[in-house]
Amino acid sequence: MVPHLATALTGPINELEQRILDCMPAIERWFRLEWMEHTPPFYTAVDVRNAGYKLAPVDTHLFPDAWHLLSESMMPLVVQAAQAAVEKICPEARNLLVVPRSSTLDAGQLANLAQLRRVFAQAGLHVRMGSISPDLNAPREYTLPDGDSITVEPVFQQGGRLMLADFDPCTILLNNDLRAGVPGILEDLHTQFLLPPLHAGWDTRRKSRHLANYDEVTKRFGKLIGVDPWLMTTLSQGCGVADIRQPRDVQQLTDQVADLLVKLRRRHKEYGVEEEPYAVLKADNRTAENAIICVRDAQEVAQRLAQLAPQCSKRAEGSPLEWLVQEGVMTCERLHGAVAEPVVYMMDRYVVGGFYRVHPGLQPTDGLVVPGHATVPLSFEHSTQLPKTGVKPGASAPNRFYMYGVIARLAMLAASYELEATDPQLELLEAQ
């Protein structure tokens, strides 16, 4: 079943698709060489947005959940990639501890954990689930719809290792993005592999740092395939800490939004893009997800921030947030008439699947990670899973998906650079 995408296969994005297809062997080799120098995150999911005139990643998740939404036909690919990932990190691995987002699991989270358990069991690991929530004191068993069960157990530290009762894992897989901060129990685990590392959590990450790395990656990639990187990126600017209750800070944010809109209008004119550009002003990390406004005119910034101020102050417990201003990218894709956004899943350096995030009630400019969104597995017909050269751009779903996979891998590569730059152990080495 290929989801019927009203606009997925049309638009000026076709030129980019053609360049990417024409350069396929060179692109694959380029990634291969990059992965010789840089370590891919253990697993990654990237939200991609197709605006018709450009294609850009809008979110790079380093603790992806929703693995159960990948279609069954993709699972052998996931298992094979997991085998490669495990072999690289710890070939002797026997036990894997998965740390879920919380100790209280809803149906979706349970299905996700069951899928991860299945994947890693088939990659040769004994998998158990351990919660870092201090409120879990005893194992809690959940029954799955198919009659199977998932037990979440409380973790404890012993001899500097994170364990469950009768279970000493050599590898710990975090499926928890640590947006509430790094709990002490995960620190100082020097004899176990902690994947992804703690500094991949939103406690450390900044969207602006990710975007800066992505810009660097796409500058070189654009040169490789002879394409303006703007077709794959968003213009953005980190604004640093700003207290939106202070008029001076609001003015500064307003100026930065105005600057960005000027640049965007120039680009739209240059590329003949008819749509009016818009800017997104948002918190620079994910700890304050509601701190976000979209504006077409910098003059709206002050008023819109004033509406946000009460909840932002509450969320940040008084301390002002860091802000980021970023080019907004509409999504041109529609699935059954609703706004749709592809999400590409990767394990190690391999694209292993994806799905569409769909929301019937949303506008093309809205973010889609909101309650109530529906998802449709992005699965392929048997005969259309791999790109086909020689097909007219925009006419082939697999070619479009191949392009999504390339953009998603560029974002993953940026995340890899980002993790290197923030690695506390590397910082320590450099200081010596």
Residues that bind a second copy (CB under 8 A): 24-33, 35-36, 71-77, 79-81, 83-84, 86-87, 91-94, 118, 121-126, 148, 350, 382-383, 385-387, 389-390
Question: Comparing C-alpha atoms, which of 25, 65, 49, 75 is closest to residue 407?
Answer: 49
Whichever of 48 and 406 has its CB closer to a second copy, that residue is 406
Backbone angles phi, psi at 332, to 5 degrees: -90, -5
Whichever of 102 and 379 has its CB closer to a second copy, that residue is 379
Least Å from the CB of residue 116 to a second copy:
14
Q: Is 329 left (phi over 0), alpha (psi -120 to 50) or beta?
A: beta
Whichever of 91 and 318 has its CB closer to a second copy, that residue is 91
Least Å from the CB of residue 74 to a second copy:
8
Element spanning 78, H or E: helix 75-89
Give the residues across from 194 on adjacent strands. 172
CB atoms within 10 A of CB 311: 12
CA distance 328 to 365: 7
Whichever of 23 and 368 has its CB closer to a second copy, that residue is 23
Tokens 């370590």 sit on residue:
39
Least Å from the CB of residue 101 to a second copy:
24
Least Å from the CB of residue 119 to a second copy:
9
Question: Comparing C-alpha atoms, which of 86, 63, 101, 47 is closest to residue 200?
Answer: 63
Q: Is 14 helix (H, G, I), strand (E, B) or coil?
A: helix
Whichever of 220 and 266 has its CB closer to a second copy, that residue is 220
CA distance 126 to 384: 34
Whichever of 118 and 296 has its CB closer to a second copy, that residue is 118
Whichever of 5 and 27 has its CB closer to a second copy, that residue is 27
Strand pairing report for 95-99 and 126-131: parallel
Six-digit token pair at 58?
A: 């809008």
Least Å from the CB of residue 151 to a second copy:
16
CB atoms within 10 A of CB 361: 10
Counting every residue written for the chain, the total comes to 432
Strand pairing report for 236-242 and 321-327: antiparallel
CA distance 415 to 67: 20
Whichever of 169 and 201 has its CB closer to a second copy, that residue is 169
Whichever of 126 and 179 has its CB closer to a second copy, that residue is 126
CA distance 49 to 268: 17
Least Å from the CB of residue 89 to a second copy:
11
Least Å from the CB of residue 402 to a second copy:
9
Least Å from the CB of residue 125 to a second copy:
6
Least Å from the CB of residue 409 to a second copy:
12
Strand pairing report for 338-347 and 350-359: antiparallel
Whichever of 112 and 204 has its CB closer to a second copy, that residue is 112
Give the residues across from 172 on adjacent strands. 97, 194
Q: Is 221 left (phi over 0), alpha (psi -120 to 50) or beta?
A: alpha
Six-digit token pair at 224?
A: 């490789």
